[in-house]
Chain A
Amino acid sequence: MRVIHDIHGGIHPPERKALSQPGTLQSLALPPLLVLPLRQHLGVPARPVVAVGDAVLGGQMLAEANGVMSVPIHAPTSGTVRAIESRPIAHASGLEDICIELETDGQDQWVVLEGMLDWRDREPTMLAEQIRSAGIAGMGGAGFPTAVKLTPGPQRPIELLLINGTECEPYITADDTLMQCYADQLIEGAMILAHILGADSTLIGIEDNKPEAIACVQAAVVKANASIEIASFPTKYPSGGEKQVIEILTGVQVPSGGIPADIGIVCLNPGTAVAAREAIVEGKPLTHRIVTLTGEALSQPCNTLACLGTPIDHLLQEAGWAAEVRQRVIHGGPMMGFAVSNLDAPVTKITNCVLAPTQSELPLPAEPKPCIRCGHCAEACPASLLPQQLYWYARAKDQEQLTTHRLFDCIECGACAYVCPSHIPLVQYYRAAKGQIRDSEQERKRSDNSRERFEARESRLAEEAAAREAKRAARKAAAQQQATSGGVDPVQAAIERAKAKKAQQGSPV
């Protein structure tokens, strides 16, 4: 039995996971239009390889990866490219981004897919490249290009592949459903990923509020006769944070500012593992994902396998949305998700949940009161920070103290704000403060650059002036030398010459 370690802090918000009936997938109607943002991952946007008007097949590449920190985008079904332009996307900023708009034809014709059943005999680098070209980016929420994680380099040998099936956010059951419905695929995917990483052991961590998922995955491990360990641990938010789940299951902390690979661990989402298996064994790119549609404003909350690019509005309508006045639609969960500003925004590779709560279900935040430094936030912080001090310094814009109090180790899980009796939007203060510090960092770099440029120019000008001065001094010295040694004063000589000339000109012809 693996020793389960405890993490500092954490909270127990109401889970509300039964609402979306984890374990079953509803099939919903295909939307007439798919909107595929070029950036659905963390990094550089993909580069379109189709033109407006092109007819495309399902699985066809629409945009190619642009560098290492990028993954391609594929068509989730057959249809016609209608536009490549700015569209609303699901992003906390509420800004638009370039998207490929695909009009679906309902035929769902696909390109011919070629899988590799012999992946055990293939080179890990080649398999990782295959995973990149299938467009796979972390499906747990951050969307980090998976191929990059799979190639940590020789200086970071990987001992442990950790599949993070914690899903600690309330409401969300996408991973739960995936682990129940795709347990066999998950195990094979985990074996492929472990092969690519050369990991000695594989561990699947699942919170103990998902007994069905644990049973399914256990059965699949037995069936596949795989040497994969399954560990369940007590439910607590935010156990599913990458750093937190690593500490819970190994007792080791990821060094501040480092990545799990620094301590020989790669942590991946179960959805990512299933997508990796599809990419390798079936040759199928990432075009769909499981999305939890939930909240009491929906009459049929469910989990569904949605095409990437499906507008959120379409999903909500399919799930029986009864919009309230002053409605809030949340992309992600109630703790870390962000409010969507436009319902035309599409599902992307990181959309694990769309939450449409009623106002009584998730009341709007109360008016903030002064901080009384009760310390409940520090008790709840999984990173052992002092949120009340960070809040104080964030308000004072004291960047030095914010850095000393390790603002950048904050994972923005929201546990502090959840327990705050004064209802202070703490996370928002930290996000803003982080942004300000990054800005002033840039500003400092810029001013350092200009100062260096200025100093370089000054020293160049000084050098030039010094050189001129030296030349002049040399000439003067030479002239004096001549005057003293040659006996003829050059000034006197010049005057003589001028006089002579004048006399010559002045004489009558």
Chain B
Amino acid sequence: MSLLRVTSPHASGLGKVSAVMRDVLLATVPGVLVMTWFFGPGTLINLVLGAAVALALEYGVMALRGRDPRVAISDLSVLVTSTLLCIALPPYAPWWLIVIGVFTAVLLGKQVFGGLGYNPFNPAMVGYVVLLISFPIQMSSWALPRGLEPVPGVGEALQRVFSPGSIDALTGATPLDLLRQNTGLLFEDLMMSRPELSGWAGLGWFEVNLAFLLGGLWLLYRRVFTWHAPIAMLAALGLCALMGYDGGSSQSGGSALFHLFSGASMFAAFFIITDPVSSAVSNRGRLIFGALIGLLVYLIRTLGNYPDAVAFAVLILNFCAPFIDHYTQPTVYGTRKPTP
């Protein structure tokens, strides 16, 4: 009889790429729900439109590349890319912004390098940065949170997305913007002066960050990634903010709590910088990778001109990842220096 010849190991665990991706998608749910509560259905429209475009693109490109497109779709990785990008895009962004963003992320961020596993940069952040540089106005007008403005219904939301300009909608600066534009007020006074800045880190933003933190902790519990990069980033960001706080003068960079729970901090720490493909590989490397992102986020937020700093910080560190890898190889068994 003929026997099968396969190589060891013959047993295999239950892990699957699609399961990893599914977990990441599920972990975004709390954050997306809280965003929807505070900013209305805009994010959901982003997500659905983005997912449709991303799936179509991935399918088409894989077919053109002569691979089985259904296999590529089924690993869910393209949905993760589009989901992460679309969460980062302003709610009620015009439809073409989403299409261009997803197009850039999937094609220029991922497929031109060879698809899943080969991209040196975080595809969602590639898409985000291209949009940010090309369409700064659309990218920096964020919807006002519930409590300042009534949240639009689905119909109005769709109109704003697909027929931009037909409705005059109020958009505003994010708390991070307000902080940067502040010149004369003490931090405490600034926080009191604007309704957007009520609460710990801005109206709605604190809750959004808390929800992404929750999802991130669940991913940690599911062992989708290790704690090293997220904790290092948050620690570095918090530490920088502490050092830059100077008691809250008008030049202050904002409190540590404000920085940790405003903007995209938690979302970045647990969903963006944990992208394994484009990050450093060893645990020690991921500590450095995360810490440098935290540092850069703080620097760009306080000294730069953009609404948030995560995308630039992540892309810069994606560049550095191979370099970090080179210097952070773990000590292999039997190569430890003998202790005297």
Contacts and interface: CB of A to CB of B under 8 A. Distances in A.
A459 interface: no
A370 B118 contact: yes
Given A326-B4, A339-B3, A384-B333, A372 B12 contact: no
A170 interface: yes
A418 B77 CA distance: 21
A43 B132 CA distance: 65
A364 to B, nearest CB: 7
Nearest to A16: B11
Given A378-B281, A421-B17, A13 B11 contact: yes
11 contacts: A256-B335, A327-B3, A334-B9, A342-B3, A375-B276, A378-B281, A382-B333, A389-B281, A406-B332, A417-B12, A422-B117
A253 B333 contact: yes
A366 B16 CA distance: 10
B292 to A, nearest CB: 18
Contacts of A374: 20, 224-225, 276
Contact of B17 (A362, A369, A378): A369
A419 B15 contact: yes
Contact of B335 (A332, A409, A419): A409
B305 interface: no
Nearest to A341: B5
A374 B117 CA distance: 10
A55 interface: no
A329 interface: yes
B16 A340 contact: no
A330 B13 CA distance: 18
Interface stretch (B32-40, B144-152, B187-195, B323-331): B323-331
Contacts of A419: 13, 15
A350 to B, nearest CB: 15
Contacts of B177: none
A297 B289 CA distance: 49
A420 interface: yes
Given A369-B116, A409-B334, A418-B13, 5 more contacts: A255-B335, A384-B333, A386-B329, A405-B329, A406-B332
A268 interface: no
A255 B334 contact: yes
B10 A334 contact: yes
Contacts of A421: 15-17, 19-20
B1 A335 contact: no
A425 B7 contact: yes
Interface of B: 1, 3-13, 15-17, 19-20, 71, 75, 77, 115-118, 223-226, 276-277, 279, 281-283, 325, 329-336
Contacts of A418: 9, 11-13
Interface of A: 8, 11, 13-14, 92, 94, 170, 243, 247, 253-258, 323, 326-330, 332, 334-343, 355, 357, 362-367, 369-376, 378-379, 382-386, 388-389, 404-406, 409, 412, 414, 417-423, 425, 427-428, 431
Nearest to B282: A386
A428 B281 CA distance: 21
A339 B12 contact: no
B281 A384 contact: no
A327 B1 contact: yes
Contacts of A404: 329
Given A328-B6, A374-B276, A409 B332 contact: yes
A375 to B, nearest CB: 6
Contacts of A389: 281, 325
A372 B9 contact: no
Contacts of B3: 327-329, 339-343
A11 B279 CA distance: 24
Residue among A247, A332, A409, A422 with the most chain B CB within 10 A?
A422
Given A13-B13, A341-B3, A374-B20, A414 B8 contact: yes
A228 to B, nearest CB: 27
A336 B332 contact: no
Contacts of A376: 15, 223
Given A373-B276, A409-B333, A339 B20 contact: no
B239 to A, nearest CB: 25
B334 A364 contact: no
Contacts of B115: 370
A8 B330 CA distance: 11
Contact of A427 (B8, B11, B226): B8
A327 B4 contact: yes
A356 to B, nearest CB: 10
Nearest to A426: B9
A388 B281 contact: yes
Contacts of A363: 12
A337 B71 CA distance: 31
A426 to B, nearest CB: 9
B5 A423 contact: no
Contacts of A431: 7
B333 to A, nearest CB: 4
Contacts of B332: 256, 383-385, 406, 409
Interface-central residue, A332, A338, A340, by most chain B CB under 10 Å: A338
A405 B1 CA distance: 42
B10 A372 contact: no
A173 B325 CA distance: 41
Nearest to A411: B333
B116 A370 contact: yes
Q: Which of B11, B276, B331, B336 has the largest number of chain A CB atoms within 10 A? A: B11
Contacts of A257: 334
B287 to A, nearest CB: 13
Given A256-B332, A373-B276, A386-B329, A337 B10 contact: yes
A335 B10 contact: yes
B9 A335 contact: yes
Contacts of B7: 92, 338-339, 425, 427-428, 431
